[in-house]
Structure 1
Amino acid sequence: MGSSVPANANFAYKNLAQLHFVTSREELNIFKDTFKKLVAKVLGLYTEQDLFTKTYEASFKCRLEERAKYTKEVAVLFKEATEKLLKNSFSWFHFYGIFPFTDKQGTLYLAIVKIGHPNTPSYFDDCEVEVINPLFPSQRVGQLYFEIAGETVHIIDLVVTKQGVGIGSFLLNLMEQIVSNFGVKKITGWLSPADIENRDIQIHFYKKNGYSCKFSDSMRQSGSIKKLL
């Protein structure tokens, strides 16, 4: 007549056709989950996990579509803004430019370069590059202040509030491209004692972008950076 039924067995129907003996709680839970999915599929319903998966997939697809739409709209705005800048001269700036860029996470930003009129033919002391989110223009995620003195640029301050996504490197790179048109051949800067707690990160950042670092003491409390263009 076949094998006997274990005394501790739980009975369950599998595929509604054969009798199956479940001899452990773990196997019983697995079977219950499989059976629930089978019933849900037959009835056109979703289990909790399936519903979560479907919802996530739909949400992700929606985000991709929205990002593509947003990217396209912002690109149009950037183009219109740049065209207006080229047609209109700002009397209070020697140079003014808008440059779009995308960080490592795919977020679009707007970089604004401002260089004031020179105090002398070769000295510009009111120079700035700032990065803003077009959706929140008042929120700056990065700022670079510098001055141009002949063939040398001196970095006064570099502040990045959203780190690790390429904003700092973009600020330096954009500044270098702009000042090269002014005949600049060297960039310098100061490493402040106020940043000593982040000195290793600071050194890595500047060296990654082609700058040399030199310190005035063994504790690296203060120093300088330099890059030849």
Structure 2
Amino acid sequence: MLNNGRILGLYTPHAVDEIRHRDYKHFSNNIEQAIKNEQKKIQEEIADLQRTIDKLISNNSKDYSTYICYPFTIERCGTEILVMESKFDINKIGDIYVYTIRNNKIGELYFDEKSEGKIYIVDIVLNGCYQRYGIASKMVKLMEDTIKPYGYKRVIGWLSPVDAPRRNEIENFWQKNGYKIKADYIYKDLDKNPYIIGHK
């Protein structure tokens, strides 16, 4: 899915292997410095990726997926770099995908046009070990930022009966992200001024 990762400033699995072999002898001599070097490289990759995103947006192109890179500290594996991909096609169907930098997909958010001016959240899924780190909230935010330039004013969705045992937790999640709840119906009115991804 991220075969063009190097173009966007990301490591492909092959590139990671190259770096690992290239730097191994330096790691054995000074592990602490090696870790700092790797962290610096990661920050440079993130900055390079953001510059690419800004360039695509400044050209007003809608022919590209939008990629955003986030560093998360995951308790079980230290600092993990996650890449979020946003797509919204001509059929008014959208997806937010979340990958690790090793190209493992760990989350998805599906949405489509319910009616004119409204977007419907079909489903949101996130791997259990990546929950409670704010990742799902960033997925929702990226979805909102993706649709605003198209003039959508409201996001709606339904609370599934399947999730009844976790109802309070799920309601808290949506309310934390600015959504209102009425019975089994969730909704949020977006800002009047369209927000372009990558710009404040």
**TM-score, normalised on structure 1?**
0.57
1 CA distance for matches of 2:154 and 2:86?
19
2 CA distance for matches of 1:226 and 1:160?
21
1:63-116 Cα shifts (integer Å, max 9, x gaps) = 85155134135326635864896799x9xx865211112335553211111112
Distance 1:79 1:67, change over 3 A: same
Q: Is the 8 A contact 1:94 1:117 kept in 2?
A: no
1 CA distance for matches of 2:52 and 2:131?
27
Query: What does 1:13-52 correspond to in 2, within 5 Å?
Result: none
| Residue identity opposite 2:140 in structure 1 | L
1 CA distance for matches of 2:117 and 2:54?
30
Per the alignment, residue 84 of structure 2 pairs with 111
Per the alignment, residue 110 of structure 2 pairs with 145
**Greater RCO (CA < 8 Å, at least 6 residues apart):** 2
Q: Which runs of 5+ in 2 are unaligned?
A: 1-29, 191-200
SS in 2 for 1:184: coil
Match for residue 68 of structure 2 among 59, 80, 99:
99
Q: Which runs of 5+ in 1 are unaligned?
A: 1-57, 119-123, 216-222
2 CA distance for matches of 1:195 and 1:62?
47
CA RMSD of aligned residues (A): 3.0
Percent identity between matched residues is 25
Paired positions, count: 154
2 CA distance for matches of 1:102 and 1:112?
15
1 CA distance for matches of 2:158 and 2:33?
46
SS in 2 for 1:180: helix
SS in 2 for 1:181: helix
Per the alignment, residue 144 of structure 2 pairs with 176
**TM-score, normalised on structure 2?**
0.65
SS in 2 for 1:107: strand
